[in-house]
Structure 1
């Protein structure tokens, strides 16, 4: 796929292509952590407003994903796992993707402000801008540490959900932000290990491409240790109870075992990287588990 193809005359995109721009599978985790922040917050919010707040988080995440794909269309065309996306596959023109992403961004932020409060709307706006400008445009093509700093974009949803209910930002959503922030590097680098040839072909300086596998495995283990501290922080700070404490201890222990398996291996064949794939898949379940435990603490032990 060439740049000329990507910027050719407008084509009529199917609604499924616009849906694909929002990365629905990635959005699931974003919506879930935002919902957890909303349900864990003290106070009450009308169910209709709660639904609207979560909808805005979903729309904001979808808008950021669409703008990411608009900007990276040429790069996506060079990687096997992204070549079938609407833009590199030629099913949509870039202008349509840009207009869709910008329009969805403004709509989600304005609706959030009108339905809940403008603090939640402001944090939502910051999360979109951070993902598009700081991560996609600035960090990702320039530094192997892109996912470390850029991972903050995916850590905002629990803060937004909490703020939608309370109108402020408390200690617990900040702790959940830090957990997600430090979870992102081992989660993403485990994926990067077995798709590193894609990143190399596209010229993206992901850690396995720039520093090699050994350094990446070492960094996965290091950030797992830091993440473990962040996971236990809500318990140590008495922000959560027994349910979360148990889930965090057991879940993090399993995560550490899987991360250690990745750390001690020296495999170079992407097809044989079973521990790396196992860690990547479990890391998603891990975040679902811990955020669910936060809500269970709030509702069962209140």
Structure 2
């Protein structure tokens, strides 16, 4: 479906949906605040770990712009995926399918925030960081949402790069460029995303099937998805230790990352073994929840070490 045809369809739908009277909370929901919080946190870690310094005011501006850019991506994702969101139980109460905001309003809101965040970051901080933020928004909205999500079961693997870029953008805000260290932060999130997301996709497989989204469990089947979750979890363990191997994290971080990586593999192995009934669902959710703790803990430890080093 072309972008023009899709917009025509959404325009017709908006005539049916009430829309146009969204509250502030509905526009906040368009920003995907839970996803935004992860973006803010990882971008802040990237900024704090970067060599050199940035004025606190400019640092706050950079984080705000990155957060707004992430929110803009979320709004544009909801605009384009309104038809999918209407079908899936997890998303049908979002502002557009719920009739609180029209697709055109969401599109205008997302574009305004995109342009504003990129220009502000470029003008007030540096243009490399601004361009990187623009590329991140483009990658999430165009490459992932408009192309990969509906065309390949590898959508979350390749598209997951968009969620892994924020620490590099935060690093670029300080240094005006990127480095091997910032790429290591990117790689942790990039390798973490497939097992994290596929664990939830196994639970929501019926929704993705109904919405005709080619997620891995829908296309390759649940058994194959479990194999790949275990494989990515095994690969993630040494990647999570990369900051220690590269010399910009302490042995304490290396030890914690090793223990958490082993635990991640343990949860993935449990998911791989349990394939039916409530036990399978519980194993999926256990991995999904632990994966959040894993990422937060590693980045929090990196942040703590950078703060201690700066004292």
TM value normalised by structure 2? 0.93
Alignment of 1:191 onto 2:214: no
Unpaired runs of at least 5, structure 1: none
- 1:49-198 matched pairs, under 5 angstroms: 49-198=58-207
Structure 2 CA distance for partners of 1:229 and 1:271, relative to 1, 3 Å? closer
CA offset digits 1:58-93 (Å, max 9, x no partner): 100000000000001011000111000000011111
Q: Is the 8 Å Cα contact of residues 194 and 270 (structure 1) preserved in structure 2?
A: no
Q: Is the 8 Å Cα contact of residues 5 and 90 (structure 1) preserved in structure 2?
A: no
Q: Is the 8 Å Cα contact of residues 6 and 73 (structure 1) preserved in structure 2?
A: no
TM value normalised by structure 1? 0.95
Structure 2 CA distance for partners of 1:94 and 1:293, relative to 1, 3 Å? same
Aligned length: 300
Q: Which residue is equivalent to 1:31? A: 40
Q: Which residue is equivalent to 1:273? A: 281
Give the Cα–Cα distance (whole angstroms) in 1 for the partners of residues 79 and 300 of structure 2.
Answer: 33
Q: Which residue is equivalent to 2:211? A: 202
Unpaired runs of at least 5, structure 2: 1-8
Q: Is the 8 Å Cα contact of residues 86 and 92 (structure 1) preserved in structure 2?
A: yes
Q: Which residue is equivalent to 2:4? A: none
Structure 1 residue ranges (4+ consecutive) displaced by more than 3 angstroms after TM superposition: 2-10, 269-272
Q: Which residue is equivalent to 2:252? A: 243
Aligned-residue offset at 1:237: 2.0
CA offset digits 1:209-257 (Å, max 9, x no partner): 1111100000000111111121122222223212321221121111111
Q: Which residue is equivalent to 1:218? A: 227
* Secondary structure in structure 2 of the residue aligned to 1:140: helix
Aligned-residue offset at 1:298: 2.0
Q: Is the 8 Å Cα contact of residues 168 and 182 (structure 2) preserved in structure 1?
A: yes
* Secondary structure in structure 1 of the residue aligned to 2:150: coil
CA offset digits 1:25-50 (Å, max 9, x no partner): 11111110001001111111111111
* Secondary structure in structure 2 of the residue aligned to 1:11: coil
Aligned-residue offset at 1:272: 5.3
> What do you get for the CA RMSD once the two structures are aligned?
1.6
Give the Cα–Cα distance (whole angstroms) in 2 for the partners of residues 173 and 283 of structure 1.
Answer: 21
